[in-house]
Amino acid sequence: MFSGIYLIVNPTSGSYSPARIDQAMGILARHGIEPQLLETAGPVDASLFAARICREQTSPLIIVAGGDGTVNGVLNGLEPGKAALAVLPVGTANVLARELGIASLEDAAVRIARGETKAATAGCVEGKGWRRLFILMAGVGFDGAVVAGVRLPEKRRFGKVAYLLSAVRCLRQGERDRLRVVAGGRTIGCHTVIVCNAAHYGGGVRIAPGADLFRPDLRAVCITQGGAGPLVRLAARLLAGRKPDMRGVETVTAQEFTIDGTRPVQLDGDPFGSAPVTIRALPGFVRVVV
């Protein structure tokens, strides 16, 4: 079914340990899967590995053992529609694994052995002189500033709590310029916007219930009111499992978004550039093991 199977590992990701990877390799082997192991040594290696695999193989399967940032790196090295992508949940948040309903390493291995794939959409962000893909979400504004402000020592020590610490620091700095989002025939002024290809955000929180990896479009959640109040109220609703339907939050679904402003951007949980940007859906960009 696959012309080659590869396991890309990021040693700096989440709960990584050599023992954890040995465990994953053992589980895969029990299901008849013996991938070639590729270990990243720097932030661009995942993309380089994926690009090389796509050049050398006709229909490869790339398994990612790392966080959502490592998945993003692999995504940005793929050729459209050529490779299949699978994920082992060993990162900090594992949002993609949660989106796919993957409960454990064993569950992931069973799915990989079954080999069932489904064509998924990727998002494409274009800024001034740069272009980057995402599989989960692109956040611009407060969201982007929080991710950019995460301190690596805190992330390694506290995991997801590092993002909360960064959010507190960003709130203390106050608001800056607003954003203008144009999509679906609408123009929305806001302080932050999260363009979602997936329903989940940061783990178990469902910020965009209408979003789906396998739809041909993207769903934007726009926070139109500034200050800490709306952000805190939205976070409380989401943590309680409620939809983000509240005053100060607008949503729009479209295949293309234009976002004007100068605020920072995050893609799949890693900082990357700043607005203004154009965001487009790329249906069928990658096959995902389901």
Query: What are the chain's domains?
Result: 4-115 (3.40.50.10330), 124-282 (2.60.200.40)
Strands 264-267 and 256-260: unpaired
Q: Identify the pLDDT of residue 30.
A: 95
Q: What is the mean pLDDT of each run of 10 residues along the chain (290 residues)?
A: 93 75 92 95 94 97 91 97 93 85 94 96 96 97 90 82 86 81 97 95 85 98 86 82 87 97 94 96 98
Q: Identify the pLDDT of residue 14.
A: 61
CB 50 within 8 A of CB 74: yes
CB 50 within 8 A of CB 40: no
CA-CA distance, 205 to 192, in Å (whole number)? 17
Q: Identify the pLDDT of residue 70.
A: 92
Question: Side chain identity at 59, as an amino acid letter?
Answer: S
Q: Identify the pLDDT of residue 278.
A: 98
Output the pTM of the full model. Answer: 0.91
Using the CB atoms, write b or e for 55-87: b if 16+ within 10 Å: eebeebbbbbbbbbbbbbbbbbbbeeebbbbbb
Short-list 137, 100, 103, CA closest to 214: 100
Q: Identify the pLDDT of residue 175.
A: 66
Going by the DSSP 8-state scheme, the letter that residue 45 receives in this structure is H
Cis peptide before 18 (omega within 30 of 0): no
